[in-house]
Structure 1
Amino acid sequence: MRVQVALATALLVVGLAALMSFVISKRSGADLQNQIGIGVSDIALQMADELDRTMWTHRGEVSVLSTLRVLREMQDVREISSIINRLRHEIPIFTWIGVLDRDGTVVAATNDLLVGANIAQRPVFQYGKNGQFIGDVHDAKLLAEKFPLYNGEPIQFVDIAVPLVNDSGEFTGVLATHLSWEWADAVRKSLFSGQGIHQNVDIFVISQDGTVLLGGDGNLVGSKLSLDALSEAQSKHIGWKISTWSDGKEYLTGYAPADGHLDYKGLSWSILVRQHVEDALAPVYDLRRDILLWGLLLALVFSAIAWWAAGFLVGPIGKMVDGIEAMKRGEISNLPDVRGAREINILSKNLQALLTKLTEKDAALGEMKRIAHHDKLTGLGNRLALDVYFEHAVARADRKGAEIAVLMLDLDDFKPINDRFGHAAGDDVLREVAKRLRRCVRGGDLVARLGGDEMVLVCHIDQNGKEEAAILAERILHEILMPFITGGNRVSISMSIGIALYPNDSREPEQLLEHADAALYAAKARGKNGYIVFSDIEDLTDNSSSCA
């Protein structure tokens, strides 16, 4: 029981730990996933806002610069060159600034790059001469060789251009600028390096047609994405979802549109921020593992406690069990008093009372059974006992291949004793006869009184059944011939015996009794105080006929 209690406690604790781990991990996983999703969508929104604010700021700077008279009139090229180089020095994001005349020829530029070159076919002039122009990210076709590679790739630009108009309202040229795309990557790295649950996040800038402009380790730059999260961002939605990317892995993906700032309409960029699901939920897995480990540890601790505590319950119960076993073996007669908890004390007392009643009941039943199977006067078995005995004796004889001797006994001239000395004297004689018969048989044999002075003896015989039965009959006759003393009177009596053998004379108990009774009458007819075996009756009849 102690082992069962300890194991049950351990299983309960482990089960609870497993259930808690499952429930907590499910609940925590959902909450943490939502928290990280909101976090990455916030990062996407911040990145979009930072990009739009930066573009809005520099667009304003270019617009303000274009209002300078020296640029609009385009008469002092040297002064123009000084101004734009100073701006380039103060704001390095302007990788190249150039002033183009009305024909598209570069008349002044930072570091004199492309001065004298005609770029009338470039978008900065084509669109810039008609109004403020902001161009999307593109490769530096004319300036690629003038600037070092960035991350092993040619430098890319974002264009801002505005027309130049003199005081007379005449178009005089275009102020064109190239902003290095490095600034966007710098913003990404400085703002969102990632801490805590936002470690190992990737930030992507996607163009209107789905081309990756910036993001990750650069492997996806230039490729096109087709994601449900991207579709949400292009639809001007902000949020997050779990998306399967081109590498076949699932990521928590936050999305937001870069839809401009104030009067700046933006370039229809979309910002995606992703984090691998396994990395995002690593704290959940750690929590689940910790709960299971603590559950196992607590299972061991509580099992030991349960083992120790069960001793207070199992100890007294064990003593009661030992006492009951000792009672069954007959070593003790009463269940010992066991002390313990209140319930144990009550159980012990009630069990003692119950066992006492059962013992009394068994004794009463035993006595009733004895009375039911025994003759009241002599204490010998009765007809019921004889029937029960026959049932077991026949089965035993068949099993061992043995024989059974049935001896029908009847006292000779018993009635005169009752008439002369009284029925009390007759009863004394019957009781004494019963004692003498018991002395003549073995423990496993049966002597029964069928009524009056008629009795029957059934015994097992291993071999030579007829001879052994005869020897037993001779011993009985000798015992009965010894005088009886009753009421101060000396009484002598004899007995006649009829013998039948199983299975030679019959295999049926009732027929055996009938054969033994027939042999008894034959013995009385021959002169009493003797015995006859049933199988000899026919020989005796034949001999009597011959003598006649």
Structure 2
Amino acid sequence: MGLVVGNGAADALKREIGDSMTGLAQSLARQLDSTMWARANQIAALSRIEALKDPAVAQSTIDELKRRDPTIAWIGMTNADGRVMAASGGLLLGADISSRPVQLEGMKGLFVGDVHDAVALRGKVPYLEGETPKFVDVSAPLTTAGGTPAGVLAAHYSWEWAYASIRQLTAPLSDRSGLTLFILSANGSVLIGPDDTVGKPLPVPALSAKLRDGWSADVWPDGVTYVTGVAHGRGLHDYAGLGWTVIARQPANEVFAETGRLRLTIVATGILLALLFSVVGWFAAGRIARPLGAIADAAERIGSGEHGVSIPEVGGAAEIRRLSVSLRDMVDSLTNKDAALMRLEDIAYEDRLTALPNRRYFEQYVEASTGSGGGSATVMYIDLDGFKPVNDRLGHDAGDAVLRQVGSRLAGIFRDDDVIARLGGDEFAAILPRRPGRPAPDFGELASRIIATVNEPVSINGEKVRVGCSIGIASWPDDDSDMATVMRHADAALYKAKRDGRNRAVRWTRVEMGAEG
């Protein structure tokens, strides 16, 4: 019994430890993808700002970004000819970069360039001591009102942030002796790893041939067998990723040392007790098997992806207690990393200006809540009237203040199970699901409340300004069984409200809209 239980527990523990190595690699891969996605989105969003085509405004903005974000090694704005018109620290100001990928690809659209050396910036920006500086490029086009590229906003992000990500991820695992992390480029070269491997292919041909998510035990060139976890960066949302691979390895003799001691203890105790006291041996084996079974069961449930499961803190032998505590700490550490990544995903669904859900969240919520075909809901499109004159006369800061105030007012009008989102600009949308046993609201009275609330004055630097709003309303499945068609109906009703004089609501009906439906 001791031999069977010991071998089973050791095998389960080996699988859990191997999966933890894969989880560690996956956590770093997700963190790298998340960081690059945020940086690409930052540059893409900034490139949409019309004022950045003015070199003076661009220089001021660039200096502020460089001051706030230490990972930016260099950031600049060019004109359509590739001439640098504004640059952080004045580096490369006036230089011609028309032949460089950051200009050529940036003029076409959002560009994210893989890790590369930047000899032109050697000695001019901070980088890792003893190395040629390495950077990741991000650029996006600055376009005219007609959509013609007028230049690019380009940034070199220091490769130092990848080292910082590794340090942050491995800090809680400092007790794991011999743990080493590798980051491979899309072509298989080592970007980060031991000094003698950087810039070269992975030194384990067998492992290179089967690079896929998972773990294995392989012999490396130094003759040591390592437990190796592999994960691929798969991008995030609309960011496709750069094809990086993360590998975590640890010497097998250190990883599996505890399982060997555990197996030996169980087997030796079982044999001794079986020879001396068969009855005592029976109870002793049960006392050992139960906590090991609880640990193995919890490990398998965690490995299958079940939520809310933790490694139990069991009693019994000192080795088992140490094992349960060590596993609990390790799982908690990895869980905390996953929770942080989930928070980053939550941020991606929030409109930063108004703190309301954004278009991405709204569209996914609509699809999820109506995709099953059951229930019913009403869609309201809300567009501000008179917002552009306020924005043009008082500036973007005043416009942002108006949008924040309107967003706050709208959030206070709807019920807890309704969703109000900012789609972009001065356009908002709401979806109101109808719950069984709960009466639907009076949409005419609700629309009147929305209009009256939005019409209340907003104080901007002592000056009171007013905006109105037009509302289009359509219901699913009353107006159509296809939710996309219902949303188009609500949009058509919105524009009819604007044509009829603005600051009013129009409920879509075939009679009301006629041919427009």
Query: What's the TM-score, normalizing by structure 2?
Result: 0.49
Larger fraction in helix: 1
Query: What's the TM-score, normalizing by structure 1?
Result: 0.47
